[in-house]
Chain A
């Protein structure tokens, strides 16, 4: 396709977001336009794609293994998967062409690991998944996120926040390479317990995570090979929402996660997560 990309785009008219009448070419265009903000956080990380070849109203599928017919120029990383009990070739997205190749596969949701392939067993991100259960409102989620930030600020830790693209918020701490996943998992779990003491609506344990009207501080993704939705990834939601990095000051009551979607996010000029990878910090853990 000209000299601009190695990818041959196919099935561009396929409708992927029926409620908005958005076809695949709009999805590819989104990823083209968001690439300058997005590529940095994908770099050297294992990618797990959620593909929706028949659109968001039909079932999608996870794709961990590099799919059949993968172009030679797509970089892959081979490692053992505990879950699959075998070695897997994972896709790594370090350039625009790979991102567009994934977009062309209708990989609407792009997930990344919390470690890089240089040190796959050592997390470089701590991930707090603030996950509400109805009838909790997004205002409640903002309250809890700000409470968490306050606590992290007290510890002199710089934290970064993004919408999940669904109902929750994600808070991330970039860390130095002195910790293992067990420690980061426990670290987040401890914060969950602390927040549960501070707030009636927070639950810290997985068994309570589906209790109505609660907010679960999900620590379980802090595990080797597990992923979070990448910053600026689309979500397979009817409104084509985006998991959007925000400035902390943007978190104000009345904000709705649907405001950050395929149409609005490409208007954002600055990346609130810029400099995240240069802000590695030490944690105080036992």
Chain B
């Protein structure tokens, strides 16, 4: 097994705890975040004085700021036409957060198309080491993954549980209606069958370029540049908490010009 050189750091707190259930079998587990988005986020500042900006909810008709307590949710049926929902109405149909990962089917792990994978979490035993180990070992050996569903934070997800590097991993899946079927696309309906010679040549190229999958071969160049830039900026300039009044600076610049002239003599 290859090392993951640049893997993200594990988190300290589980995001959820409950159990995997298969019929009456019950394996208590804790769920940890596995995927860490490494994108940089910037705060939006006022260009003139470098101070952070805040967002406000402004009513388009009155052009006035509206308090959170004076807001309701609306569903846009047609442009600018809304059905209004009260909080109680929405709460009534919201699924309750469950404490069970219900598995009801085991499939071959390789048969699941990666298109459906959404987000992955690490499952660790919650005083259930024996049962956890048994389940992990058996599905790993059989090359299987457990299919089922779970409700987290009021949303119900299809999930798959499989073994990866000595851990059970829970991956939430996309619903079928969230994934576009490409076969309906016009550009794809008129593809011609390639000739034998072309096929042979293409096969050779692919064979020559064949190798092992290694994610470490890919680096986020933008991120690395960004990190370097942040580092240099931090060394180069004191963070501007408050930018001075313009006249003050002007006076200093006049003095500076005189001094620089004197120093050059």
Contacts and interface: CB of A to CB of B under 8 A. Distances in A.
Interface stretch (B135-143, B154-162, B221-229, B253-261): B253-261
B237 A36 contact: no
Contacts of A28: 252
A109 B77 CA distance: 69
Contact of A69 (B234, B242, B251): B234
B181 interface: no
Interface in A1-28: 1-2, 4-6, 8-13, 25, 28
Contact of A32 (B240, B244, B245, B259): B259
B253 A2 contact: yes
Interface residues of B, number: 26
Contacts of A9: 244, 249, 252
Interface residues of A, number: 26
A33 B260 CA distance: 10
Interface string A220-234: 000000000000000
Contacts of B248: 12-13, 25
A69 B244 contact: no
Nearest to A105: B238
A71 B249 CA distance: 21
Interface centre among A8, A13, A33, A73 (most CB of B within 10 A): A8
Interface residue SS majority, chain A: loop
Contacts of B234: 69
A146 interface: no
A15 to B, nearest CB: 13
A25 B236 contact: no
Contacts, number: 70
B239 interface: yes
Contacts of B262: 36
A13 B252 CA distance: 13
Contacts of A33: 255, 258-259
B71 interface: no
A12 B245 contact: yes
Interface residue SS majority, chain B: helix
Contacts of A1: 249, 253
A163 interface: no
B251 A36 contact: no
A96 B260 contact: yes
B243 A29 contact: no
Nearest to A68: B234
A98 interface: no
Given A33-B259, A35-B259, A8 B238 contact: yes
A25 B252 contact: yes
Given A5-B256, A35-B263, A10 B244 contact: yes
Contacts of B243: 10
Given A69-B234, A71-B237, A13 B245 contact: yes
Nearest to A12: B244
B161 to A, nearest CB: 47
Contacts of A39: 263
Interface in A233-249: none
A69 B238 contact: yes
Contacts of A8: 237-238, 240
A70 interface: yes
B232 interface: yes
Nearest to A2: B253
A96 B249 contact: no
A267 interface: no
Interface string A93-111: 0001000000010000000
A10 B242 CA distance: 6
A270 interface: no
A13 B244 contact: yes
A227 B256 CA distance: 28
A70 B235 CA distance: 6
B242 to A, nearest CB: 6
A4 B260 contact: yes
A32 B252 contact: yes
B242 A11 contact: yes
Contacts of B255: 29, 32-33
Contacts of A10: 238, 240-244
A36 B242 contact: no
Contacts of B236: 6, 71-73
B156 to A, nearest CB: 49
Given A9-B244, A10-B240, A13-B248, A71 B235 contact: yes
26 contacts: A2-B253, A4-B256, A8-B238, A8-B240, A9-B249, A10-B238, A10-B240, A10-B243, A10-B244, A11-B241, A12-B245, A12-B249, A25-B244, A25-B248, A32-B252, A32-B255, A32-B256, A35-B259, A36-B259, A36-B263, A69-B238, A70-B235, A72-B232, A72-B236, A96-B259, A96-B260
Pick the 9 closest A-B CB pairs, nearest first. Answer: A12-B244, A32-B255, A25-B248, A36-B262, A4-B256, A12-B248, A72-B235, A32-B259, A29-B255
